[in-house]
Structure 1
Amino acid sequence: MAAVRCPTIVGRRAELTALRSSLAAARLARGSTVVLSGRPGIGKSRLAREAAAAARAWQVPVLVGRAVEAGAGTAFRPLAEALLGGLRRRPEPDDPALAPFRPALGRLVPQWREAERADDSLVVLGEAVLRLLAALAADTGLLLVIEDLHWSDAETLAVLEYVADNLAGERVLLVVTTRDDPGPASALVRSLAARGAATVHRLGPLDADEVAEMARACRADVGADLAAVLDGRAGGVPLFVEELLAAEDPGSHVPDGLADLLAGRVATLPAPARRCLDAAAVLGERFDWRLLPAVTALPDADVADALRAAVGAGIVETTRDDGFRFHHALGRDAVLAAMLPPDRAELARRALTAVEAAHPGLEGTWCDVAADLALRGGDTARAAAVLVEAGRRNLARGALGSAESVLGRARELAGEDSTEIDELLSRTLVLAGKTAAAVVVTTRMIDRLRADGAAAARVATAELRLAEAHTTAGDWAAAEQHLDRARRLTSDPELRLQIAATGARVALDDSRFDDARRLAHEALDGADAAPDVRCAALTVLGRIARRDDPAAAEELFTRARRTAEAAGLPVAAARAAEELAIGDVQESLRVDRLSEARARAAALGDVGVVAVLDLQAAAIHNSRWEAEAAVAAAERCIAASRRFRLATLPKGLVLGAVAHDYLADRATSDAWLDEALALAPDDTHLRGEVSGARAYRAIAAADDTRALALLDEAMASFAARPNEVTGSPVVGCWLLVRTALDPARPPGPPDPITNRWNRGLARFADAVVLGRAGNARAAVAAFDDADAILREPVPVGWFRLQARRIVAGAALADGWGDPAVWAAQDLPVLEARGLDRSAAALRGIMRRAGVAVPRRGRGDAEVPQPLRALGVTSRETDVLLLVAEGCGNREIAERLFLSPRTVEKHVERLLAKTGSQRRAELVAAATRLLGP
């Protein structure tokens, strides 16, 4: 019986309406992403085709790309297919804004490829794809369909994530189909949905009435009995309903499951068609029909007739690119399962020969296809060799996740004969920061090399890899031990320079700055230094320079990035970009640049760099007084550090503890600080950070004497093992608190201070010293300077307000400035944040200054000028501050001692006065109008 296809969509009215609405919105420059998720055969692709049909009816161009199972180790396959198809059918867009991105797009569009290597950044590629889509959309709009996302590689997922995050304002609708099985694609879908960057429709099975409706739409003669059979056997899966309806006897003669159903259909085909179908199944779900004559030894005409018969039977269908594919992935599996093992192996061997003849370089996905065919043909050695080549290619282009996957599979196949694979896998794991796995693989490799009597240079290289792994894990003693072994084993100049570069990093992390500088220059100045060695040395020198010369550090990191990009070293380029981002955010406190660097590292699979950037994000969010975001970043860092045994774990716990203190969660804060100390009991720098974290709690409680004692402990710990201590706010807090509380001995900074928060805190200390000396005008100028440093361009919120409180107390005692005014300005913010003791200290300053002190909750807070211009009252300002904190009406009522109904009225008036339609808009307006 001919294939059955339901002419209408049943049971998906809501999803179809949503797709059409999203398409209409995209035509009005309100682009979005829609994900269709569910198990195989549930109707995801059918809905995507309906969206495409609606788009074409509206004269909206449609681009379609599909990930394939065999392409799991190859990057960007679905994107390349979609863009190539789009450009094949229309003129190339003539958009000046697209010109700078054509080199990046050359990674996907061969005709735009340039001799000079394009930027390997996935962020740049994501922006390039976004701009190309926008150019293709023009004024009419565009639909991009990506099917089978669950088979996509990590690099494609990263680019699609960037596109989905930035579609708002574009005339593009992105529709994605994916299975809901656990995996990277499902994780991405959850992440996009959580932050509102995608709408997810999870398709469930049809109910009994919908199965009956679908069946009757396919065949008018379907009665209640047959409908019941279909409901019981199809499990609500539309594909199974169609396939069962195509069978002659769905109730008795067709066995349960799609495999048996297809076996019956296959049996009705002519022998040449069955032979072609078997060969096609061996080649893959989507197969190149041009290979079939060589695989089957059939003439071209017979192959064409066979494919025509398979299409007629509903087993195979044509694709938009004039190719062929099985109607469903399970259909291919059913054909394979029905074959006898000897027949399957013989066809796989013939198919491998045909693939290698047609694609001698095994470019792109053919490498993976060849490996699969070798396995099916029983040639595990050949399969392993092909997978090793795929891993080598992925490693060369920085796709660490894909490289690890295929190399791991290759090693399983190779068994004991896997030294070459282990060398590649060791390099991949070290670059990815997966230290525990790297140590296991590399130690095993060294043992085998020694047992086999391998050349000393190979053993030395392996010892170097092991040293790099231990460095990332923070075990510097072990790293030095393996570096010493590597030095003793080789006199090769190039390898010794690599050892020097790694030694420089170990020395820097171990606070031996002179050794680090010497070794970095040795590696950098060597005549035989490879580009990756120069990048590593420049990065070490940049980190040293960042302690006292940010401009020099930026120049060194920029050199490292350019060197890496010129040499085609994407991982080294990403790490240089990481250092540039860290230096930038310490001044600007901009988290977007950290996010860009993190996305780049994550796309490469460099979990070590991702953990470091999450650590930096936690520090920045703490400085911005964004406790929830800081906790989230710290938790990401902590989770990765535990899993991969990274050196970032103790510091991640400390920064997370500070954030939990901001949230008044002292139990978690104490537990995390205790764990950090237990993990690194001999790390005096970490001990100083823990003392500093506890000092912050004392400062928040306005217990400055207790805070000073803890800060003194912290500085003593820092002095015991000098490190980049000027990067910690502990230093600035110590300078200010000691200056304010110890008039006889104002301290000086222990090192040059370069970052913004410590510069601001140190300048506040200058104001105290000047005011105490009687130079009131200079003291006020210093106060204003300090306040501006901590306020612009992004406020260093918590530290700024606590510093103003401490300085206000000193100014009142020494008779300069306007301490009562400063206290009045900050009081409502501290009260709204729940810092009652700090707020009480400000009230005390106002009382001692003879200024009327507003009673808490009476609405006497000063109204900022932008709010006064809108007619917002003091009481409404109190409410608005808490709305901005995300508090609900009941919580606001409890904190301001009001009734929930009164708060509701205040919120209604605030909505009207600020022109906001919803509470979310009011929060945004509050952030803008309240200021720092």
Structure 2
Amino acid sequence: MRVFSPVLVGRDDELELIGDRLAAARDRRGDTVFVLGDAGIGKTRLVGESAQHAAEKGMVVLRGRGSAVGPAVPFRAVTEALLSLPRAGGIPLDDPDLAPYRPALGRLVPDWREHAAPGTGESVIVLAEAVLRLLAVVGRDRGCLLILDDLHDADAETLAVAEYLADNLADQPALLLATLQPGSHAAGDVSRAAVVRRAATAVTLRPLGTEHVRALAAACLGIEAGALPGPVSDRLTRDADGIPFMVEELLGDLLDRRVLVRDGSAWRLTAAPGNDVPSNVTRGVAQRATGLGPETQEVLHLAAVLGRQFPLEAVRAVLGLDERVLFGHLRAGVDAQLLVPDPAVPDWYAFRHSLIADALLAVLPAAERASLARRAADAISAAHPGLPDDWCQFVAGLRLTAGDAHAAALLLAEAGRRALATGATASAATLLERSYELADGTCADDRARILESFLQALAEAGQADRAFSVAARATWANVATLSAEPHVALHARLAWVAVVTGRWAEGAASVKTARAVLGSAPEPGLIARIDVVEAHLILNDGLGHDRAVEAERLARHAVTSAMEAGLPEVACQALQLLAMIARQRGFDEADAHLRRMLAVAEQHDLRMWQINALFRLGVNESMRTGEQVRLEQAQQAARQTGAIMLGYSIDAVFAIRAVMHAEFDVARALADRCAAATARLRNADDHQFAVLTAAAAAAHQARRQEMEFMLGEFGRLGGARTQQAPLVSGFCQATCALLEEDRQRAIDELDLAWAWEEDNPPVFFLTGRYGLRPLLAALRSATDLAEYEAVAGDAAAELRWNRQFLHLTQAVLLGRSGRHDAAASAVAEGMRAAAPYPMAGHLGLRLVAEAALADGWGDPVTWLHTAEEYFHKVDVPAVAAACRGLLRKAGITVAQRRTGHDRIPAELRKQGVTVREYQVLELLIDRHTNHDIAHRLHLSPRTVEKHVASLLAKTGHPNRVDLALYAADLH
């Protein structure tokens, strides 16, 4: 008989701490609490009490647990917790805050997959962010408690989610409560690191003291502690080691053997309790199982071989039991408090505690255990051809128990590759590492293929150093032991890891080895894999423009070979690289590569590559024409597909567009959102670009201090060593200097960007090389029409942002040569190109007006008035003052700008009405006399009379009455 205490004993302090954290979570001050303790110490009971407390306070409670069933199943505990959401009050998938994350959540919970595209995968960090957003939504009004039990048995992805939540729950309405056993395991590392970072609190449950053991036993029996028979109390305090589970098990054993019986309202002993305590309750469990009969024992022993959680179909297939008989045995196990239905998965059962399964295995001979495992593996393999979903991992564990290490290695490798394909990189690395270990001494080609996948998993999991270390120790993998295909694939993989980690020399060495192994008649697919990797190596190793020619040759070869070999993804990789290279010659050619990439992706249903192609086509379209239709289509497709990483890349492009369009609030909001998300997602490239965009937004408003701060952050993130570096000088520093009227500094910054691009293939074309730099050169007579024509003929001159400045460059040169009408027409063309870019367009007017004044052409006065009005309005005083200075130089009387100028209607500002005159005009509406107005504005009556006369002259009204009526109409 199993006994339970109706109350929690000895955990008041821990319960109070968790209660405080729950209250904080309801107040949007989320936190994480790790509850540590040995098996049976009462972790589950404490968490259960906390869950009940949270539910009573109206909080949403979600609960899942780790699994010890064979190899780890990615996200099992998280998925189980999310499956409880319908019971906790509904699934808020229609909430707009979850829109980009619906596909990611759909990957965790099958019933939510209507928004997900087949075959797509998200990184662990993206899925963790999705869970974070979901907790924020479900707990928005009442708080949320997420419980992850048995974290020590959880898969690597669940641990990654737990770690991510611990780092990001501080301002969320949710508490993460996780239980784990102490020890040297990954969950322990996660909890300890989180506590050190002050991102979590650890609560360690200690064994109960003597008094609490007695109180617990008395509560189980429904009596006062003082009424507990002395011998029972002595045995429990001596043998239970303060572990609540042991207290309950030992009491249950006494009751089962009728050593302890009820006598009215009290309990008495019929014999001495004895001194033989079962080791980890093995004996008690065995005795309980024995009492259920041999057939039920056979079911329990097979179940123990299958794992703590086990599928009924495996038991049915191995033992040949019909459903009615099987459920009879299961009910017996449930009644004996040995089994429970698994709440997470239908048609699965579980042992109530891992110690029960261990106890049953301990009494099972090794040969019988192996036989049962072999029969179960055969039965499941026959029932599920190809072992889809989690069956592959499950059967791998059975093959290993049966002693077939080679078969287990191959199955674990397949499971690892499947995990890798879905983005579960940490679990993939764990599975493939175990597979690699088991394959030691087996077929070298098989082991090489496993190693290649293992290296890929390590690299994608951010463990590139370890990947190279593992490869270096694989001395068995050589030309004498391996066939060509696995040998080449292995070195191609190493080369690719080198590409993504910047290890150019190591990458080149791997490519050289791979090419040497190819032989005289290599397969096209192997050639494609090597060519596309080497092309990326060449283009990204920073050795200059001449390398791009060779990279392009290899990329073209890779496309041909990949298409012949039926490798569409490799073809897409190569076409993307070709498009990047081709932009330097012309955007039409680049778009042709991208359209082909889109066609290949559509033909082979490669959804992510389709979106990628659409995105890059949209970027080119936006830069050439200013349109954003394709970008918006790509953004929508990324959200629908759950391509979170790509979605942030698209958002970053929209942010830089907003800077160019002078929508600075929009730009900064997008940049800040991207920076925060990409930092959490560890997406370094987009994080750097988002920070650089924030710096650009400040630069284009002449906010130098803010710009310098963001550029410092960009440098700390390593941005100065990337292809984004010339944007610092050409797009940020130079623009800010011009808005400060520091033209020499702007020229120096543009020269720095130009010098960088002389040594490196340009990727961004907003650095001033093809627009702003030629204009400033023309203004200081440092260029001529021939040089202008050379720049204007470059592909980058197609971009609308550059065209606005190049038209003005042409105007300056034409005006200086006396072709005044053509110069004025060029300014008009420049203004048409500048229509989407108000700040840049008005800055261009200010610059070109200076040359027009000096050379006597165009309408510089109007241009300067227009520019002065704009820069005064947007609070860029240096440029506004420079415009006023040039107007005065042209002989135009310009009033000083005073506070309140923005209140003057545009019509009156054009007529030259001053702030003080407008104040007088407002008082005329109510027919105040000159003396009244003078008194209100602290002026002399004679000064007011002069202001009225000036207003009559400027507005053209004949008398004071008409002027007052006019003023009333303006209001």
What's 1:711 paired with? 750
Q: 2:836 matched to 1:789?
A: yes
Q: 2:288 aligns with which of 253, 265, 269?
A: 269
Residue matched to 2:493: 465
Equivalent of residue 544 in structure 1, options 561, 581, 594: 581
Judged with a 3 Å threshold, the aligned counterparts in structure 2 of structure 1 residues 185 and 713 are, in CA distance, closer, same or farther, namely closer
Which of 396, 399, 412 is residue 371 of structure 1 equivalent to? Answer: 396
Q: 1:68 to 1:842 in 2, by over 3 A?
A: farther
1:124-163 alignment runs, 5 A limit: none
Alignment CA distance shift 1:665-1:743 (3 Å) = closer
Evaluate the alpha carbon distance shift between residue 689 and residue 48 of structure 1 in structure 2; reply closer, same or farther with a 3 A threshold. same
Match of 1:308 in 2: 331
Contact 2:488 2:514 in 1 (8 A): yes
* 1:23-61 superposed Cα distances (whole Å, 9 cap, x missing partner): xxxxxxxxx9x9997545266678879999999xxxx9x
- Conserved? CA contact 1:628–1:659, under 8 Å: no
List gaps (5 residues or longer) in structure 2.
36-42, 87-93, 95-100, 153-157, 179-200, 255-259, 261-271, 907-914, 916-971
- State the match for 1:923 in structure 2: none
Q: CA deviation at 1:631?
A: 7.7
Counterpart CA distance in 1 for 2:717 and 2:82 is: 51
Separation in 2 of the partners of 1:192 and 1:647? 21
* Aligned mate of 1:248, from 248, 251, 258: 251
Where does residue 44 of structure 2 map in the other structure? 41
**1:168-179 to 2 correspondence within 5 Å?**
177-178=147-148
Counterpart position of 1:905: none
Look up the match of 1:185: 161
State whether residues 523 and 533 of structure 1, in contact with CA within 8 Å, keep that contact through their aligned partners in structure 2: yes
2:378 is the alignment partner of 1:408: no
Residue of 341, 345, 348 corresponding to 1:318? 341
Q: Aligned in 2, Cα 1:261/1:483: closer, same or farther, shift over 3 Å?
A: closer
Give distance in 2, aligned partners of 1:242 and 1:804: 82
In 1, the alpha carbon distance for the partners of 2:137 and 2:676 equals 26
CA drift of 1:703 comes to 1.7
- Give how far 1:705 is off: 0.8
Q: Deviations over 1:776-816 (max 9, x none)?
A: 8646644643443236xxxxx7x678667656766777724
2:544 aligned with 1:522, yes or no? no
- Whether the 8 Å contact between 1:578 and 1:613 is mirrored in structure 2 is yes
Letter in 2 for 1:409: R
Name the CA shift for 1:346/1:551 in 2 (closer, same or farther; >3 Å): farther
C-alpha separation between the residues in 1 aligned to 2:351 and 2:51? 15
Alignment of structure 1 residues 653-668 onto 2, 5 Å: 664=706, 666=708
Cα distance between partner residues in 2 of 1:677 and 1:594: 25
Q: Is the 8 A contact 1:36 1:202 kept in 2?
A: yes
The aligned residue for residue 918 of structure 1 is: none
Partner of 1:425: 454
Q: Which structure 2 residues correspond to residues 563-602 of structure 1 after superposition, within 5 A?
A: 563-564=600-601, 566-567=603-604, 576=613, 579=616, 583=620
Kept in 2, the 8 Å contact 1:771–1:816? The answer is: no
Task: State the shift of 1:319 in Å.
Answer: 4.0
SS for the counterpart of 1:41 is helix
Q: What is the CA distance between 1:284 and its match in structure 2?
A: 3.1
Contact 1:619 1:655 in 2 (8 A): yes
Instruction: Say whether 1:336 aligns with 2:358.
Output: yes
> Are the aligned partners of 1:470 and 1:476 in contact in 2 as well (CA < 8 Å)?
yes
The answer to whether the 8 Å contact 1:725/1:731 transfers is: no
Q: Distance in 1 between matches of 2:224 and 2:204?
A: 17
CA distance in 2, matches of 1:215, 1:756: 81
TM-fit CA distance, 1:407: 1.1
Structure-1 separation of matches of 2:218 and 2:505 = 74
**Cα contact 1:73–1:403 (8 A) shared by 2:** no
Matched, 1:724 2:782: no
Residue 928 of structure 2 is matched in structure 1 by: none
Partner of 2:314: 291
SS where residue 340 of structure 2 aligns? Answer: strand
SS at 1:121's partner residue?
Answer: coil
Superposition deviation, residue 364 in structure 1: 1.7
Could you tell me which amino acid in structure 2 is paired with residue 448 of structure 1? Answer: W
2:593 maps to a residue whose letter is: L
Contact 2:7 2:219 survives alignment (8 Å): yes
Q: Which amino acid aligns with 1:460?
A: V
Q: How much does 1:387 deviate?
A: 0.8
Would the aligned equivalents of 1:355 and 1:370 in 2 still touch at CA under 8 Å?
A: yes
1:352·1:373 contact (CA, 8 Å) conserved in 2?
yes
Distance 1:677 1:185, change over 3 A: closer
Cα-to-partner distance string for 1:123-168 (whole Å, 9 max, x where unaligned): 8xxxxxxxxxxxxxxxxxxxxxxxxxxxx97786577568678989
Tell me by how many angstroms 1:708 deviates: 0.4
Q: Which moved more, 1:258-267 or 1:527-536?
A: 258-267
Q: Does 1:355 align with 2:381?
A: no
User: Which of 480, 483, 497 pairs up with 1:452?
Assistant: 480
Does structure 1 residue 496 correspond to structure 2 residue 496? no
Among 390, 396, 406, the alignment partner of 2:415 is 390
1:639 to 1:409, Cα distance in 2 relative to 1, 3 A:
farther
Deviation string 1:486-514 (CA, Å, 9 cap, x unpaired) is 44433224133444444444454464444
Distance change (3 Å), C-alpha of 1:108 and 1:664: closer
The change in CA–CA distance for 1:452 and 1:765 in structure 2 (over 3 A counts) is same
- 1:289 to 1:541, Cα distance in 2 relative to 1, 3 A: same
Distance (Å, rounded) in 1 between the aligned partners of 2:64 and 2:599: 33
What is the one-letter code of the residue matched to 1:723?
A: P
Provide closer, same or farther for how the CA distance between residues 542 and 472 of structure 1 changes in structure 2, counting only shifts above 3 A: same
The aligned residue for residue 914 of structure 1 is none
Query: Which residue, 571, 574, 598 being the options, matches 1:534?
Result: 571
Q: 1:50-61 maps to which residues of 2 (within 5 A)?
A: none
Counterpart of 1:817 in structure 2 is 862
| 1:553 to 1:806, Cα distance in 2 relative to 1, 3 A | same
Identity of matched residues, %: 25
- Cα 1:744–1:254, aligned 2, differ >3 Å: closer, same or farther? farther
CA shift, 1:199, in A, is: 3.6
Q: Which residue of 1 aligns with 2:934?
A: none
**TM-score, with normalisation over the residues of structure 2?**
0.60
Q: Deviations over 1:569-594 (max 9, x none)?
A: 67766765664575577667879967
* SS of aligned partner of 1:449: coil
Specify the code of the residue in structure 2 equivalent to 1:286. Q
Q: Which segment drifts farther, 529-538 or 41-50?
A: 41-50
Residues in 2 aligned to 1:183 and 1:581: alpha-carbon distance in whole angstroms = 38
Contact 2:498 2:504 in 1 (8 A): yes
**Counterpart amino acid of residue 817 in structure 1:** T
Q: Is the 8 A contact 2:316 2:322 kept in 1?
A: yes
1:161-208 deviations in whole A, cap 9, x for unaligned? 686789899x99998543688932124535774786x64465898999
Change (3 A) 1:711 1:505: same
Retained in 1: the 8 A contact 2:811–2:827? yes
Unmatched 5+ residue regions in structure 1?
Answer: 23-31, 88-94, 96-100, 124-151, 792-796, 866-873, 875-932
Deviation at 1:287, TM superposition (A): 1.6
Contact in 2 for aligned 1:122/1:159 (Cα 8 Å): no
For the structure 1 residues 853 and 43, does the alpha-carbon distance in structure 2 shift closer, same or farther, using more than 3 Å as the test? farther
State the match for 1:131 in structure 2.
Answer: none
1:752 aligns with 2:781: no
Query: Is 1:392–1:424's contact at 8 Å kept on the other side of the alignment?
Result: yes
- Structure-2 residue corresponding to 1:702: 741
**Aligned-pair CA distance for 1:269:** 1.1
Q: CA RMSD in A?
A: 6.5
Tell me the SS of whatever aligns to 2:835: helix
> Once the 2 structures are TM-superposed, how far is the Cα of residue 711 of structure 1 from its aligned partner?
1.2
Taking a change above 3 Å as real, the CA distance of residues 377 and 456 of structure 1, as seen in their structure-2 partners, is closer
